[in-house]
Amino acid sequence: MPRDDTLVGEVTALAGCVGVPVPADLRDEHQRWPLYQQAMCRPECHGQLMATTAADPVLVMSVVVQMLAIDRERRDRWVALARDDKDRAYASRRAAEHAILEVRGDVPGLGPELLATWSDWLQRGLSEGSTMPAVLDLLARHGRTRRIRNTASSRSGAAPVRVSRFRQTVVTRCVEHLGTAYRSPVAPNRSFVTAAVDRLPYRDLCHELAALGRVADDTDVNCDVSFTLVLHGPEPLMVRLSMVGPYAVVLHVGDALASGRLLLPRRRGNSETAQHVLHLLSRHGLILLDEGELATRVPLALTGPGTDATLYAALFEPEADLPWLR
Computed over every residue of the chain, the mean pLDDT equals: 87
* Domain identity same for 176 and 317: yes
* Domain identity same for 94 and 185: no
Q: What is the pLDDT of residue 161?
A: 47
Q: What is the pLDDT of residue 257?
A: 43
Read off φ and ψ for residue 288, nearest 5 degrees: -105, 110
Residue with the larger pLDDT of the pair 69 and 201: 201
Using 50, 70 and 90 to split pLDDT, how confident is the model at 63?
very high
**In sequence order, which residues have a C-beta less than 8 Å from that of residue 17 and are 6 or more positions away?**
39, 42, 44, 45, 48
Rounded distance between C-alpha atoms, residue 221 and residue 297, angstroms: 23
Among 41-50, 56-65, 133-142, 146-155, the least confident range: 146-155
* Domain identity same for 169 and 232: yes
The answer to whether residues 237 and 221 touch, using CB atoms and an 8 Å cutoff, is no
* Domain identity same for 201 and 289: yes
Task: List, for residues 113-153, the tens digit of each pLDDT value.
Answer: 999 999 998 998 888 878 888 999 999 999 998 888 888 88
Residue 30 is given by DSSP the state H
Single pTM value for the model: 0.55
* Domain identity same for 191 and 300: yes
- Of 156-170, 199-213, 292-306, where does the model show the most confidence? 199-213
Average pLDDT over residues 223-241: 90
Using 50, 70 and 90 to split pLDDT, how confident is the model at 310?
confident
In b/e form, how buried is each residue of 214-228, taking b as 16+ CB within 10 angstroms?
A: ebeeebeeeebbbbb
**In sequence order, which residues have a C-beta less than 8 Å from that of residue 162 and are 6 or more positions away?**
292
Among 4-13, 272-281, 298-307, the least confident range: 298-307
Q: What is the pLDDT of residue 225?
A: 95
Rounded distance between C-alpha atoms, residue 13 and residue 54, angstroms: 14
**In sequence order, which residues have a C-beta less than 8 Å from that of residue 324 and are 6 or more positions away?**
260, 261, 262, 291
Rounded distance between C-alpha atoms, residue 127 and residue 125, angstroms: 6
Task: List, for residues 265-284, the tens digit of each pLDDT value.
Answer: 877 778 888 999 999 999 99
pLDDT over threshold 50, residue 308: yes
In a domain, 121, yes or no: yes
pLDDT over threshold 70, residue 159: no
* Domain identity same for 32 and 49: yes
pLDDT over threshold 60, residue 205: yes
Rounded distance between C-alpha atoms, residue 299 and residue 303, angstroms: 11
Using 50, 70 and 90 to split pLDDT, how confident is the model at 7?
very high
In a domain, 272, yes or no: yes
In a domain, 148, yes or no: yes
Q: What is the pLDDT of residue 114?
A: 94
Q: Of 100, 121, 138, which one is at a domain's C-terminal end?
A: 100
pLDDT over threshold 60, residue 242: yes
Q: What is the pLDDT of residue 162?
A: 52
Using 50, 70 and 90 to split pLDDT, how confident is the model at 2?
very low
Residue with the larger pLDDT of the pair 301 and 92: 92
Q: What is the pLDDT of residue 160?
A: 47
Average pLDDT over residues 163-171: 66
End-to-end CA gap in the chain: 47
* Domain identity same for 174 and 283: yes
Q: What is the pLDDT of residue 306?
A: 64
* Domain identity same for 258 and 149: no
Please tell me the total count of domains within the chain.
3
pLDDT over threshold 90, residue 247: yes
In a domain, 311, yes or no: yes
- Of 32-36, 89-93, 173-177, where does the model show the most confidence? 89-93
* Domain identity same for 73 and 49: yes
Give strand pairing partners of 299: none
Among candidate residues 41, 44, 50, 36, the one with its CA nearest the CA of residue 78: 50
* Domain identity same for 289 and 220: yes
Rounded distance between C-alpha atoms, residue 154 and residue 306, angstroms: 19
Q: What is the pLDDT of residue 164?
A: 56
Q: Of 136, 155, 174, which one is at a domain's C-terminal end?
A: 155
* Domain identity same for 145 and 280: no
* Domain identity same for 193 and 204: yes
In degrees, to the nearest 5, what angle opens at C-alpha 184 toward C-alphas 240 and 45? 150
DSSP for 141-174 reads: HH-SSHHHHHHHHHHTTPPPPP--HHHHHHHHHH
Q: Of 155, 189, 223, which one is at a domain's C-terminal end?
A: 155
Rounded distance between C-alpha atoms, residue 11 and residue 23, angstroms: 8
In a domain, 160, yes or no: no
Residues of the domain holding 196: 165-325
Q: What is the pLDDT of residue 322?
A: 83
In a domain, 56, yes or no: yes
In a domain, 259, yes or no: yes
**In sequence order, which residues have a C-beta less than 8 Å from that of residue 147 and are 6 or more positions away?**
124, 127, 321
Q: What is the pLDDT of residue 324?
A: 77
Q: What is the pLDDT of residue 165?
A: 59
